[in-house]
Amino acid sequence: MTHSHDHSHHHDHANGTSSRLLLIGLLLTLSFAALEALGGWWSGSLALLGDAGHMFSDSAALGIALVAARMMQRPPSERLSYGHGRIEVVAAITNSVFMLFIVVGIVAEAIERTTQPGNIDAVTVMAIGTAGLVVNIVVAFVLSRDSHSLNTRAALLHVFGDLLGSVAAIISGVVIYLWGWMMIDPLVSVFICALIVVSSVRLLREAILIIMEGVPGHIDLREVGEAMARADSRVKSVHDLHIWTLSSGLIALSAHITLTNLNEWQEILQAEQSLLDRDFQISHVTLQPEVPLDEVIVPIDELSASQDLKHVQ
């Protein structure tokens, strides 16, 4: 059985980048949440106070993502031989579920406002909504620089919800200021919630697929198996093929390969590694050579124990 991987340095660097970006996003979001709460208290706007609470909850979500990114930088241990990469999946699920609970609260408040519309200071809402839009655009831009990470994407989902909330606040403020139509506020809120639910469910499905060790959505298991079987004419068959995601950007593969002659395994191994590296960006590979029972078996100590495969970014 042969293993091939060379990913730890790149993965640690990527996790360090995620951690720094999340810290910047956390500080910006938390600072504006405090400013929005102060503005809501000063103007007596319940809408602004409620949105400040939303941003504080998003700050908590960014904090969870930051802790996860820091933990992912820890080296593998005897207990966690693959490292702490899967913690980002746990964080993504936690943040997505948390966001769904927030949506429920927003919808409930919107329903209540359809029957009991309150007084809204439109000018204050527009001013703080515009400031919030600028802050959320900056945070979204910062986090999007690491959009390949599932953990960061989960945090970005919360920021996206805040960004839409800021747009909705501006629209609501303009409509209320010009026409005094209070119903615009709950209607826009429900629309935003629908968008957030779609994004949350999509992220949850991806995270659950990783936990279930399913084949990544962009990879066709049959296609990979057929390509491996064609990689070298000395390969008779490929079976017991499994492909799964260890963490964002790190895909693992294991398979049994039936050969005509084990003496040729080293050359075949290199051909398979090159194929998986070049065509499918699979960097963590475990391959086990086999021969039919009626073939001459070469002692296992004559086989190479390992082979490095260059990690594809």
pLDDT, residue 67, reads 74
Cα–Cα distance measured from residue 165 to residue 192, given in angstroms and rounded to the nearest whole number? 7
pLDDT, residue 256, reads 94
- Cβ contact 22:155 at 8 Å: yes
**pLDDT winner (highest mean) among 2-6, 51-55, 101-105:** 101-105
Cα–Cα distance measured from residue 275 to residue 96, given in angstroms and rounded to the nearest whole number? 36
Cα–Cα distance measured from residue 215 to residue 220, given in angstroms and rounded to the nearest whole number? 8
pLDDT at 241 over 90: yes
Cβ partners under 8 Å of residue 100, min gap 6:
197, 200
Cα–Cα distance measured from residue 58 to residue 3, given in angstroms and rounded to the nearest whole number? 41
pLDDT at 169 over 90: no
**pLDDT winner (highest mean) among 78-87, 199-208, 241-250, 274-283:** 274-283
Closest CA to 172 of 183, 162, 161: 183
pLDDT, residue 308, reads 41
288: tokens are: 């086990």
pLDDT, residue 53, reads 64
Tracing tokens 């990783």 back to the chain, one arrives at: 210
pLDDT at 267 over 80: yes
Read off the pLDDT of each residue in 61-80 and give the average, rounded to a whole number: 75
Tracing tokens 């999946």 back to the chain, one arrives at: 89
Full set of structural domains in the chain with CATH: 2-211 (1.20.1510.10), 221-302 (3.30.70.1350)
pLDDT at 7 over 70: no
Tracing tokens 């790190």 back to the chain, one arrives at: 250
- Rounded mean pLDDT of the chain? 76
State how far the alpha carbon of 27 is from the alpha carbons of 18, 33, 156, 171, 244, in Å: 14, 10, 14, 27, 35
DSSP for 17-63, written as a single string: HHHHHHHHHHHHHHHHHHHHHHHHHHHT-HHHHHHHHHHHHHHHHHH
pLDDT at 149 over 90: no
Residue 260 gets which letter from DSSP? S
pLDDT at 231 over 80: yes
pLDDT, residue 257, reads 94
Share of the chain above pLDDT 70, in %: 76
Read off the pLDDT of each residue in 290-310 and give the average, rounded to a whole number: 51
Greater pLDDT, 163 or 65 = 163
Greater pLDDT, 112 or 285 = 285
- pLDDT-based confidence at 18, cuts 50/70/90? low
105: tokens are: 């609260």
Residue 8 gets which letter from DSSP? H
Give the lowest-confidence range in 2-11, 57-66, 95-104: 2-11
